[in-house]
Amino acid sequence: MQRRKFLLHAGALAGTAALGQMGVFASRAATASDYKALVCLFLYGGNDSNNMVVPVDSAGYANYASVRADLALPQAQLLPLQESGGVLRYGFHPALPGLQGLWTSGNLAVVANVGTLVQPLTQAQYLSNSTQKPATLFSHIDQQHEWQSSISTTSSNTGWGGRLSDQFNSLNANSSVPPMISTGGNNLFVTAAATQALVIPVSGSFGLNGFSSSGADAARRSALVSLLGVDRDADLTSAAQDVMSGALSSSAILNPILTSSTATVAQYFTGLTTNFALQLLAIAKVIEAQSELGAQRQVFLATLGSFDTHTDELNQQQALFAQLDPALSAFNAAMAAIGAGSSVTTFTLSDFSRTFSPNTGGGSDHAWGSHHLVMGGAVHGGQIYGTMPTLTPAGPDDAGTEGRWIPTIAVDQYAATLAAWFGADASTLATVLPNLAAFSPSTLNFV
């Protein structure tokens, strides 16, 4: 059994050249028995956070409504977000009632105007080109990659989730599955120095079909495995072989967990049938099985698409939030139910926010700084962290004339706060987030 476990783990890490680097461990403060997981929700396409967190005070709402015109949400429908001391400045989009409840119970925080930066950037510096800007602003795939890598000067082949995970390999030494798992396909965020996340399906069985216990089938299966070990001289071939090696070992362990009908977490997802809800259910099942799997630090990724609302924004965003809200509420309740509420922190990333000024087609275009959600029992919720931008086109926070907010919190700081909670100390943060030193403070205390 011990040997099998070792081989499985080796398979999960097949092709890695980083085994030697595993001696560098960040988790000095960690105890052997603790468990933590980060769950990243990537909102593909650029979520218009201007309509996720909306001013509710009279003057603020009037300004919002006058600029947003046809994109303005009705004031009466906004879900108020009471802050400490009875302050009421903002409300959630009406399709986020579950998240409003989590805000009220202290399990959800908003981080304001986060974005890709190379260093702190004033409007004057931006307009005069005197300070380095992130590469390829306003481009989907590039801004996605910068959010996923926390590197905005150049393209990176690794993500900050991956680099963080690499630092905690010692805590996962007994894990029978890879430390990063994605339900949203391959993604730079969960790409490490030499490995990437295990991608699991959210429905159906996870495994190789068509093998009985007959000797003939055993011989065929044995040959399939043997073929993964020969002809490894070409990068493309060996990469495909490694993917299949990992698939065979991990699916054997995870399929019973993913298809279990007795998981405690499942009841919280009753009635939720969207793909996004199924992704979070699969992640919840894996977390529920963490003691069986042996991992102590896991990084998960789920994704939700179609936020690129150049047209028909009100309907599209409403439909997307209507998927997001119940799934996140269910996930949070499920984590609490299995006693993992404070061990799991869930957070959003997205390409960018969208122009505050609408376009002529009932939508908005690619912008920059955006508000993000952080959820979980360890979160210092019910608060907005950072500074909300002045919602004025061509105003003090605009990179142009259409309401593209220059971020006042860097992705690096957002990431560092989550990584520090995960257990990274200062030197580890500097390794995982090589540009963090450009920003102060390095972490933000929202979790």
286 near other proteins, rule: CB under 8 A: no
59 near other proteins, rule: CB under 8 A: no
224 near other proteins, rule: CB under 8 A: yes
Q: Which of residues 354-393 bind other proteins (CB under 8 A)?
A: 357-361, 363, 365-366, 393
Among 22, 24, 65, 208, interactor with other proteins by CB under 8 A: 208
Q: Name the β-bridge partners of 344.
A: 37
In the complex with other proteins, which residue's Cβ is closer, 19 or 426? 19
226 near other proteins, rule: CB under 8 A: yes
331 near other proteins, rule: CB under 8 A: no
Q: Name the β-bridge partners of 381.
A: none
Among 105, 123, 174, 186, interactor with other proteins by CB under 8 A: 186
Q: Where are the alpha helices (DSSP H) in 201-312?
A: 215-227, 235-258, 275-288, 290-293
DSSP state of 106: T
228 near other proteins, rule: CB under 8 A: yes
The CB-of-95 to other proteins minimum distance in angstroms stands at 20
Q: Which of residues 90-129 bind other proteins (CB under 8 A)?
A: none
- What span, in angstroms and rounded, lies between the C-alpha atoms of 110 and 90? 11
User: How many residues form the binding site for other proteins (CB under 8 A)?
Assistant: 83
Among 38, 67, 109, 299, interactor with other proteins by CB under 8 A: 67
Sign of the torsion formed by the C-alpha atoms of 281, 283, 286 and 291: negative
H or E segment and range at residue 39: strand 36-43
In the complex with other proteins, which residue's Cβ is closer, 27 or 250? 250
The CB-of-118 to other proteins minimum distance in angstroms stands at 12
In the complex with other proteins, which residue's Cβ is closer, 24 or 243? 243
Stretch that binds other proteins, among 14-22, 73-81, 85-93, 420-428 (CB under 8 A): 14-22
The CB-of-400 to other proteins minimum distance in angstroms stands at 6
Q: Which two tokens stand for residue 74?
A: 């009705």
24 near other proteins, rule: CB under 8 A: no
Q: Which two tokens stand for residue 288?
A: 């529920």
Cβ–Cβ under 8 Å, residues 74 and 38: no
In b/e form, how buried is each residue of 187-225, taking b as 16+ CB within 10 angstroms? bbbbbbebbbbbbbbbeeebbeeeeeeeeeeeeeeeeee
Q: Which of residues 150-169 bind other proteins (CB under 8 A)?
A: 155, 157-158
- What span, in angstroms and rounded, lies between the C-alpha atoms of 413 and 447? 12
Cβ–Cβ under 8 Å, residues 397 and 414: no
The CB-of-316 to other proteins minimum distance in angstroms stands at 10
In the complex with other proteins, which residue's Cβ is closer, 208 or 337? 208
Helices 97-104, 313-337: crossing angle, 10 deg rounding: 50
